[in-house]
Structure 1
Amino acid sequence: MTVVNQPEFGQRLRQLRLERGIKQTELAGGPVSASYISRLEMGNRLPSPAALSYLADKLGVPSEALTTCAPSKGAEAGPGGVGAGGADDPHSARSLLLAEAATALRDGDTARVIELLEPQLDRAEAAAPFGWHWHLLWTLAEAYGRRQELPARVRVLRTMLDTSAIWPDAAAVRAGILADLSADERALGHLPAALEAGEQAVAAARGAGAPEQARALMAVAAAETELGAVRLADKRVPELLALADATTPRTAAQIYWTCAGVRSRQGRAEESDRLMLKALAILDSRDDLLAWARLRMAASALRLRSGRTDDVRGWIKEARRAVDLVGGPGQSAALLSLTAWLLWIERDYRAAIAAADQAEETGLLAFHDGLRNRLLRSRCLLRIGSEAEARTQMRSVAMQAEDSGYLDLATEAWKSLASALDGAQTEGDRRIGAPRGGNLTGETDMTPLEGALLDATRLDETQWAGTPLDGPRPSAREGVVRGVNGSGGSGRRPEGPAARD
């Protein structure tokens, strides 16, 4: 039986390919694609027996030439000596380190992975072989991702991006890194950076395979949707759907999920639901249990967004079982937030507040999800009579969302605040006959912005009871936006393509 070790196999494959002056695209064929060869050379994959046989034949060498590295100087030093791979052999020490980190990652001990590899980053750049350094970066990024430590993961991904610049024929790999980077920046609330990385991913994926193109398009469409540039995201949908049949079930399910999100933001709830159900049907839990769970969480969010609760409780229950087996604390936090959303629609406000608080306390919600979770909590507070705390939290969410470029969510939060202020003012009028926006002496406790919001729209607070956070907007939306922009709100549009939407 042939034993294949990475990153040694990838280093040897690249060496033999370059010696023959062959590009990855020229070597591709049969059971391997150019992007697959890139991943092999970078140490991210192990070759299948069919791929190993094909590559050996194409390169004109026996399979053993790919699975056996050339001996280093001093190889005859004898057992335990430097050349024999003893403890003083840098190559041997590096291989042992990566092997231990890979075992820890497989066992779920991500803290151990970080402990082993993080100190190696600086010295690896200066002295280590390229393949070993790349494999270290990939393993470290995976560990940070599983722990939901996104700032650290973004740092490692950007290092991978810089490192890949010296690697020939690495466009497909760069597209994948950029797509991951876009998703992480979006989760952190860095929308301009997410959009930039997504657009770069699309450019890098041109000429690559369908999976790479799909990942890039999904990344940029998600960033555009979050920025409110839904018309731009809509243009990606036909291209994405055309790629679905040429990808794996997991990628196809992600495509339908992404397109469902765009359609939901357009208010096309039926089409969104149809696409999401197609995503659920195409992926089997045995293929990827965590992706299967995340699809159920996404389907629940889209149903709740349209004001429907059918199937949602069952999907959340199924997702929770899967997350308990293979997920992490980040997925558990997202499930708590979804549960709070469901309880809000069911008008169990105190239970919704408790679930939202648990989700918030983890500190692991994505930036947008965290804002939405706090907005939901503030609406529940309003329903149980905690008006002052509710208004304070609504104001905070609205300002954070606007400053970060989430204009749809900012509008939603400003409307909730205007509704709360209007409800409080109406109650005050009934009790003491106070002037609009003030007390008996005519003095107001509202900020100028809040006063403008109240002048822009007189929303009945009951319009919001039990409605989804991102559901159909009341007709006063444009008035609220004009009130925000005309009274001290930033009124900023995001730079770049989103500004033209």
Structure 2
Amino acid sequence: MPKPTRQAEPHVPPGLAGIGQRVLRLRTERGLTQRALAEPEYTAAYISTLESGKVRPSETALRYLADRLGVTFEELSTGQPAHLATEVRMRLADARQAFCTGALRDAVERYTLLDHDAGRLGLPAERAAALVGLGDCALESGDLDQAIERFQAAEELLADAPLPQRVPAVRGRAVAHLLAGDLRYSCYLLENAIDELNTAGLHDPNALLLLYSAVIAPYMDMGAQARAARAAELALALAPQATDPALVARMHRGVARTLLAEGRTADADASLAKAQELYLQLHIRTELAHCHWMRGYVRAQDGDLTRAEDELRIARTMLADRQATLYTVQINVELADVLRRRRKYDEAEQLLSDLLGELGTGRGAVHAGGAHRLLGLIAEERGFPQDAEEHYRAALALLEQAGAVGDIADLCRLLGDLLRRTGRTEAALDIYRTGLGHRAAPGTTTLGPAPADPPL
């Protein structure tokens, strides 16, 4: 009785169409019949239809045929010698190193050339990696529209690839929308990817760790502390399985934020110290600057304003050297708060007034709201209630548009207290009700059920 043969899957990843002629050429060169090439897994009829271009082979079929023909999968699928793909991957690693160590312009040039070369050579995965690199560079320089465009192009290139391969692009696009002030859409992108990975059984620790670490920030800004804490808990559980130390370091940064929200300042600082140690070992200057930034915030929350100012100034200098304009102005908001609390009003006010030209709707709206809030506090402390009210209302409009529920309640309390002190009790009550409305469902978002947990 003849052995049953396996039929080929109808799907083919991007860039693998049109390989029939290569299969025919290689088979002929090796003196193989269609049956000899096909068996025992496939049929001669399948090889015939493949060579005539009537069927699109799956990755499984391509790997089987490449092994039978004595060539690499890359060579059969792209028509390019295997060493070219290897060379492109090595150049991608060099470009990433340039980005990490601070040579932003050099990284952009390298990634741009790689995007072109990978496209010319028919290497979609490598081209997508170059586009993600360009997206990261655009995030760094504050060009959020370009960042979104690059990440989206990478996702489209990998549309037929397994989801874990698309996760870096999804995460990048979500971060860009977060920085633009679109918190809900950022959460939507990340939660959808998490849910799809977990429900489909695609338990990739690196991909999940990247997503859980990224979703903490929008959760916190939206006031969804319960979801942020759960994401941090799952990230910690996944960390021992991750193979990328940079992902583990980023996870520690995100976890520190949830610990700080719970009042666990010492634990938050310890988590940041772990991240900082890893970034130093990996020579990743941008992320190291973010650690200094957050440690400054932790020091400020702990009342150590002198050390907080030192940490924030270090972070600002490191990011300014990289021309990371959007991140630099965000640090200035934190620094201005420390300066205000140290009664350095003139310096704080000047810093905030300067940076508001860099922030606003569609570009750092949450931090722009924070800047107006601080200017309102300074105005109150200096005895100018009318100016304070104007800044509070400007902050409220920005935060409501961004959906930053976590900050709106506090702002409504400040504005309500100001209105009450100036004799406008009814207006104060309305503002208090607005703030209470935003606190009505703590720990949730308006996005529906939380994503499924991974099978830990």
The answer, yes or no, to whether TM exceeds 0.5 is: yes
Instruction: State how far apart, in whole Å, the 1-side matches of 2:401 and 2:355 are.
Output: 23
For structure 1, the residue ranges without an aligned partner over 5 or more in a row are 1-9, 22-56, 73-94, 426-435, 438-445, 457-478, 487-491
Change (3 A) 1:133 1:64: closer
Counterpart code for 1:337: V
Is the Cα–Cα contact under 8 Å of residues 276 and 291 in structure 2 kept in the other structure? yes
How many Å apart are 1:318 and its aligned residue? Answer: 2.9
CA distance in 1, matches of 2:357, 2:434: 31
Could you tell me which residue of structure 2 aligns to residue 173 of structure 1? Answer: 165
Structure 1 residue 276 displacement after superposition: 2.5
Cα deviation, 1:24-48, whole Å, max 9, x if unaligned, reads xxxxxxxxxxxxxxxxxxxxxxxxx
Q: 1:253 aligns with which of 243, 249, 255?
A: 249
Return the alpha-carbon distance in structure 2 between the equivalents of residues 183 and 368 of structure 1: 13
1:313-392 equivalences in 2 (<5 Å) = 313-363=309-359, 366-392=364-390
Tell me by how many angstroms 1:352 deviates.
0.9
Specify the alignment match of 2:265 in structure 1: 269
Size of the aligned set, in residue pairs, is 369
- Where structure 2 has 5 or more consecutive residues not aligned to the other structure, the ranges are 1-13, 24-36, 39-65, 82-87, 451-456
2:253 and 2:123 map into 1 onto residues whose CA distance is 40
2:187–2:215 CA contact under 8 A, matched in 1:
yes
Are 2:437 and 1:496 aligned? no
Alignment of 1:268-287 (within 5 A): 268-284=264-280, 287=283
Higher relative contact order, chain-length normalized (CA < 8 Å, sep 6+): 2
Question: 1:123-142, aligned counterparts within 5 Å?
Answer: 130=124, 134=128, 137-138=131-132, 140-142=134-136
CA contact 1:11–1:131 (8 Å) conserved in 2 = no
Aligned to 2:404: 406
Instruction: Provide the C-alpha distance between the structure 2 equivalents of 1:485 and 1:260, rounded to a whole number of angstroms.
Output: 23
Partners of 1:210 and 1:400 lie apart in 2 by 36
CA distance in 2, matches of 1:306, 1:15: 63
Q: What is the distance in 2 between the residues matched to 1:205 and 1:407?
A: 28
Contact 1:449–1:483 under 8 Å retained in 2: no
Q: Is 1:113–1:140's contact at 8 Å kept on the other side of the alignment? A: no
- Alpha-carbon deviation of 1:62? 7.5
Distance in 2, Cα, partners of 1:450 & 1:220: 34
- Equivalent residues in 2 for 1:87-166, closer than 5 Å: 108-109=104-105, 130=124, 134=128, 137-138=131-132, 140-166=134-160
Q: CA deviation at 1:11?
A: 7.2
Determine helix, strand or coil for the equivalent of 2:164.
Answer: helix
Residues 283-322 of structure 1 deviation map (CA, whole Å, 9 limit, x = unaligned): 3165212211111112212332454425323322432443
Distance in 2 (CA, whole Å) between partners of 1:15 and 1:254 is 41
Residues 220-268 of structure 1, C-alpha deviation per residue, up to 9 Å, x if partnerless? 3332222211112222222211233344432222111111111222344
1:284 to 1:140, Cα distance in 2 relative to 1, 3 A: closer
CA 219–381 in structure 1, closer or farther in 2 if over 3 Å, else same: same
Match of 1:202 in 2: 194
CA contact (8 A) 1:178 1:200 kept: no
CA 1:309–1:59 in structure 2 vs 1: closer, same or farther (change >3 Å)? farther
Contact kept? 1:356, 1:373, Cα under 8 Å: yes
1:55-66 → structure 2 map (5 Å cutoff): none
Query: RMSD over aligned Cα, in angstroms?
Result: 4.5
Pair 1:397 & 2:395 matched: yes
Question: Which one-letter code corresponds to 2:395 in the other structure?
Answer: V
1:450 matched to which residue of 2? 428
Deviation at 1:405, TM superposition (A): 2.0
Shift in alpha-carbon separation, 1:351–1:285, aligned structure 2, 3 A: farther
Kindly report which structure 2 residues correspond to 1:14-33, keeping only aligned pairs within 5 A, or say none: none
TM-score of the two chains, using structure 2 as the length reference: 0.67
